[in-house]
Structure 1
Amino acid sequence: SLNEHDGMDEHDNMNEHNSMNEHDSGRDEYRNYEPEENITEDVNDDYEIQKVFNSWDVAMEEIEKYTHRKAATNRYEMALSIFLIVDNHLHSHMVVQALIDDEMMEYHSWIFQNIKNATRNAVPRVIFTDADLAVSAAICDEFPTTKSLHCMFHISQNLFSNLKSCLGDQYNEFIQNFYEMQKSP
């Protein structure tokens, strides 16, 4: 039957009520919030964009509590760095996106410097990365007390691409031993 007040049937009304109850009360703060955006960019001598840093003030408040990093590449052939945090409810929040046209250490340091500036020098306890040496070096420089961990998915991709052809038939045995060692206490 239709609810005469809003045109919704009882099933829709119950689903809306249930979905509202599924969200924790902290999420209500974000519903009506209009975040202040923080954009920083660098251009070269030809006025071509080399780096873009984008964040929102509400996200910077979150990143002060929780920090995580994940990276990918986009259709503009610039490296896209996406920073996620995991809160105390184990929910992930995307808090920073940065585009850089080079993945040298100085560019990653630039991203981390912008994060520090936007978060009043918050220092993450742990950062997970894809084991890129330039990122690891930038973490050491900008966040010397942060524990830098490498993602097993990316490590396994690197093992396959760098060792499969060398080890040939022995690769499967190697990878099995590697994972057993990785899981050992």
Structure 2
Amino acid sequence: MSSVTSTERGRAKAERHDALLRAAARLFAAHGFDGVSLEDLGAAVGITGPAVYRHFASKRALLGAILLRASDDLLAGGQRVTATTHDPAAQLRELIDFHAEFALADADVIRVQDGELAQLGDEDRHRVRRLQREYVDLWVGVLSRLHPDRPREDLRVRAHAGFGLLNSTPYSVRALAPATPVHADTVHDILADMAYAALTAR
């Protein structure tokens, strides 16, 4: 086998892997984990149901991959944001912008996280929870510099409330359409401004 052919096959496999993740997120969000079959997943990307096993060991492993990738991406992105400036107000604004962009781009993943976390295997659930705690701690660290007089648990509540606002996009945007179509940038700006005002309030 030539190196070119091997590279092409590797690229095709990676693309199918990503397509399965996107399709599974969409289907799980719409129908629930138990309402989606392997045949549904395969058909969504043009393969048979059993061919899904070439990419993931099980449907549950596919669910784990969706939520682990999202958690990894959020933590890595948050770390990049906080490394760009040492001003806490600027850090918070950029964290909010980053998370709002994620929420708009990956609304299906948010719905899956909300409804299907309990379906994960124990190992994946522990890993997702650990990554999420680290992400929350990142926000709490920034908030502690803006509110040095506030106890850490107060700041943790604020962070989760901010996530709740920003993660409302799968529901708030759907509630507006189709009668009142709103551009994604407008939704981003509304939610980002609201989150910043709430998190910086004394």
For Structure 1 versus Structure 2, the TM-score category normalised by the shorter chain is under 0.3
Query: Whose radius of gyration is greater, 1 or 2?
Result: 1
Q: Compute the TM-score of the two structures, normalised by the length of structure 1.
A: 0.26
* TM-score (norm. length: structure 2): 0.24
Please state which structure has a larger fraction of its residues in strand. 1
Greater RCO (CA < 8 Å, at least 6 residues apart): 2
Query: Which has more helix, going by share of residues?
Result: 2
